[in-house]
Amino acid sequence: MRSILLLTFLFTVKQLAAQDSIAWAIQGKTNHLSEIREIAIAKNGDGIFCGSHDSLVSFGDFKFRGPRHRSSSGSTKTSAYIGRVAANKSLKWVKQVAFADEGVYVSDLKLDKEDNIYLSASVEGNITFMDGRTHYLPQMGIMVAKLNPNGDLIWARAYSGLGTRVHFYNVLPRADGKCYILANHGGGNFGPSTLPAGGDGQYSQYIGLVDEKGEPLWAKSIGGPGGKITASDITFDAEGNLLICGNFRYMDVPNITDERVEGPQKDVKIETKISAGAVGNGVKQVSGSHGNIQAFIGKYDPNTGEALDVHIYGNSKMNNVTAITADAQGNIYAALNLYGEDLYIGGKVVPDYGNTTMAIVKLDRNWKCIWYKSFDSPGADHIDDLHLDGKKLYAAALISGSKLRVDDVNYNKTGMWGAGVLRLHVQNGFVENIEHWEVGRANCVAVKDGQGYAGGWFHYSMMLAGERFDVGKSGQFNAILVRLGSTEVEEEKDSLIAEIPDSLKQRPAETQHQIEVFREDISISLWDDQEVDGDIISLKFNGEWVLRDYSLTAIPKILKLKVKPGEVNYFEMFALDEGSIPPATTALIISDGIRNHKVSLRSNPEVNGRVEIVWRP
């Protein structure tokens, strides 16, 4: 009889915090160039990811080519793909959305309330969509595609770039099936709306709205006539307005509040032109940001695109806002880049530490700074993405120099750059953890209920989650998709916990693995090693219960523990139910932050499985 009857009782237990850990990774392998650009999480916890590549790329058994199938320098991405992966690492599908002979650079991906997928990219030349339709854009423009949750195309459109030569495009779907587009423009028309020429006649940026089939409804320039704007992110605020961030050289819109680094200034609403630096010849410089590239965060009307409240930040050098998100209380979280000087924002001075300093700020609904986190490291470089999950804020970053020290994080590796996913407390900005892979960049992160995914690219060979990953012989950058573990909040709750009978406690243990670690702090990821078949286990570490009456699933359970120096530490697994496929089997990844050990434990009603761990400082 597989099931063991247990006497249970009701009591209050404290569920301890479990922290992020990379449970597994999947490579988008190519001999040239590929990357994961953006990730979102479906209702059932699957990850929806997208990116670009050149030449042949493969994700597991899914393979397809870009138009440059024989040779490529690796400097141009010509094909866009999208994929869906389950939490247990099973790839459900990966599909090529479109390819173009002059380039496809994926920028953004969002899901609507029905898990329909919206994807944006810059595109140029002869374009072929996944349904076989073709389109030609003589100059760089924007591609937007809408797909159903199975990755089948609903519609795809290519819009003129109106003379622009840059490619920053974002999408933001609405609940009614319409979708906002954040795109670059020169001068010209987007549907019924006429956009003014951008600065130097070649670029600014606009908010546009398209209907359920991608037809343009209206557009509004956020830079105004002659504007020189690079917007990097868009989201909704708590009231349904549009929040947009980025940098500018010149802006001609109403309702601008200038915040200068010299000290607190009285807010002055400006109804005229603002110039930042020596651009826009013949335009009177009224006030503002003194430098070449300055940062902005703006709030815009969702029905018209009109500027409601735009705040600009800067000094005599360069600053940028690279990512933005907001919570239900009206607070704004923004990622910043500082280039050589401190930045005054919302009543506080965010310090710069030389070279490129990355920072994160939290602003309240009145634009006052609640907290800031400036990363004191000469290697800190760039934050690409922010994502809120309850009381945690996640940031995906490139860390040049592979060194970062802040709060509880001491990241110190070798190499020119590293990819990092930082986790912060939303209340005070405390940085409690970093997950990383070597020689790469984290472009994106998405977390839901404490579990999520991150993605980007890597260069050279590396070990990650117990596996070795290699780029091709002539490889450039290869896409990498990783699964993050759980972050459960500490809470008091009533639970039914099984009391372990004496007969079970007295079962003999079989040592199945012996490993050595190099640090005191270790993380344990565990999940069902075979088909999920109803295995129920309990787990002891050094004689103390760390897991009781736990049903194994395909989603890793994460534990954080400390080992004792100079003696044998051990895990012992008790099988309470072997499930439909005996014996009970558990996959474990034991990581000390330097090396990952992947092992499998087996247990049955007669024998417990055991792993011995030794730490010699």
DSSP annotation string for 115-138 = --EEEEEEEEEEEEETTS-EEEEE
| Residues 258, 285 contacting (CB under 8 angstroms) | no
Task: Name the residue with higher pLDDT: 322 or 466.
Answer: 322
Task: Give residue 580's region: left, alpha or beta (phi > 0; psi -120 to 50).
Answer: alpha
pLDDT the model gives residue 318? 81
Q: How confident is the model at residue 506 (pLDDT cuts 50, 70, 90)?
A: low
What pLDDT digit, counting tens, does each position of 216-254 carry?
999 999 999 988 888 999 999 999 999 999 998 888 899
The reply to whether 198 and 332 lie within a common domain is yes
pLDDT tier for residue 400 given thresholds of 50, 70 and 90? confident
Q: Is 244 part of a structural domain of the chain? A: yes
Position 243 scores a pLDDT of 98
pLDDT-based confidence at residue 302 (cuts at 50, 70, 90): very high
Residue 321 or 408, more confident: 321
Q: Which of 374, 392, 422 is the last residue of a domain?
A: 374
178 to 11, 199, 208, 486, 574: CA distances (angstroms): 50, 29, 11, 34, 53
User: Does residue 475 surpass a pLDDT of 70?
Assistant: no
Both tokens of 287, joined, read 């006030």
Has residue 79 been placed in a domain?
A: no
> Sheet harboring 170-173: ordered strands across?
170-173, 179-185, 204-210, 216-221
Judge whether 363 and 386 are in contact, CB under 8 Å.
Answer: no
When pLDDT is averaged across residues 21-46 and rounded to a whole number, the result is 91
Range 396-402 average pLDDT? 86
Please indicate whether residue 264 or residue 400 has the higher confidence score (pLDDT). Answer: 400
Query: Is residue 151 assigned to a domain?
Result: no
**105-132 average pLDDT score:** 95
Question: What was the pLDDT predicted at 604?
Answer: 86
Whether 528 is covered by a domain: the verdict is yes
Report the alpha-carbon distance of residue 523 to residue 503 in Å, rounded.
Answer: 30
Instruction: State pLDDT tens for residues 57-77.
Output: 899 999 988 776 444 444 567
Can you tell me the distance from the alpha carbon of 390 to that of 404, in angstroms, rounded to the nearest whole number?
A: 25
Same domain, 366 and 511: no
Residue 487 domain-assigned (yes or no)? no
- The amino acid that residue 468 corresponds to is R
Which residue(s) pair with 131 in the sheet?
none
| pLDDT level of residue 530 (50, 70, 90 thresholds) | low
pLDDT in tens, 251-299: 889 999 988 655 444 443 433 333 332 222 233 333 333 447 889 999 9
Distance between CA atoms of residues 156 and 141, nearest Å: 13
Whole-number pLDDT of residue 304: 97
pLDDT at res. 74: 43
Q: What is the CATH number of the domain that holds 524?
A: 2.60.40
Note the pLDDT of residue 20. Answer: 43
The pLDDT of residue 269 is: 40
The alpha carbon of residue 469 and the mean position of all alpha carbons in its chain are separated, in whole angstroms, by: 21
Averaged pLDDT of the chain: 83
Q: Which of 41, 28, 78 shows the shortest CA–CA distance to 444? A: 41
- The candidate with the shortest Cα–Cα distance to 202, out of 260, 139, 121, 259, is 139
Gap between the Cα atoms of 423 and 432, Å rounded: 6
Query: What is the C-alpha to C-alpha distance for residues 433 and 360, in angstroms, rounded to an integer?
Result: 15
In this prediction, residue 498 carries a pLDDT of 42
232 and 367 assigned to the same domain = yes
What is the distance between the alpha carbons of residues 127 and 79, in angstroms, rounded to a whole number? Answer: 10
Is 402 within the bounds of a domain? no
* CA proximity to 451, closest of 359, 527, 379: 527
- Assess whether pLDDT exceeds 50 at residue 487: no
Q: Which residues pair with 39 in a beta bridge?
A: 49
Determine the Cα angle at 503 with ends 497 and 508, to 5°. Answer: 110
User: Higher pLDDT residue, 484 or 281?
Assistant: 484
pLDDT band with cut points at 50, 70 and 90 for residue 35 = very high
pLDDT of residue 33: 84
pLDDT value at position 77?
A: 77
Span 592-616, average pLDDT: 86
Strand bridging mode 22-30 / 8-15:
unpaired
**212 vs 154: CA distance, rounded Å:** 10
Residues whose CB falls within 8 Å of the CB of residue 95, separated by 6 or more in sequence, listed in order: 62, 64, 81, 82, 83, 130, 151
Query: Last residue of some domain: 374, 408, 431?
Result: 374
Determine, yes or no, domain membership for 57.
Answer: no
Distance CA 243, CA 507 (A): 60
Task: Give the 3-state secondary structure percentages of the chain, helix then strand then coil, rounded to 5.
Answer: 0, 60, 40
Q: What gap in Å lies between CA 11 and CA 566, rounded to an integer?
A: 36
Is residue 46 a part of any domain in this protein? no
Non-local (6+) Cβ contacts of 495 within 8 A are 10, 11, 12, 13
Task: Decide if pLDDT at 11 tops 50.
Answer: no
Residue 261: per-residue pLDDT = 55
Examine the pLDDT at 431 and tell me if it is beyond 60.
yes
- Domain extent at residue 281: 176-374
Nearest to 42 by CA among 10, 73, 83, 5: 83
Quote the pLDDT of residue 166. Answer: 63
Average of per-residue pLDDT across 405-412:
82
β-bridge pairing 608-615 and 509-517: parallel
Number of domains in the chain: 2
Task: Give pLDDT, residue 473.
Answer: 62
Q: Do 220 and 367 lie in a common domain?
A: yes
Given this model, what pLDDT does residue 282 score? 31
Confidence band, pLDDT 50/70/90 cuts, at residue 2: very low
Taking every pair of Cα atoms in the chain, the longest distance, rounded to a whole number of angstroms, is 89
> Residue 377: left if φ>0, alpha if ψ -120 to 50, beta else—which one?
beta
Residues 509, 367 share a domain: no
Residue 169 is classified by DSSP as -
Q: What is the pLDDT of residues 172-230, one digit of tens each?
A: 999 999 999 999 888 899 999 999 988 877 778 999 999 999 999 999 999 999 888 88
Query: Nearest to residue 557, comparing CAs of 582, 586, 518, 599?
Result: 586
Task: Indicate whether 359 and 506 sit together in one domain.
Answer: no
Sign of CA dihedral 571, 575, 580, 582: positive
Query: Pick from 347, 374, 401: which residue ends a domain?
Result: 374
Strand partners, 276: none
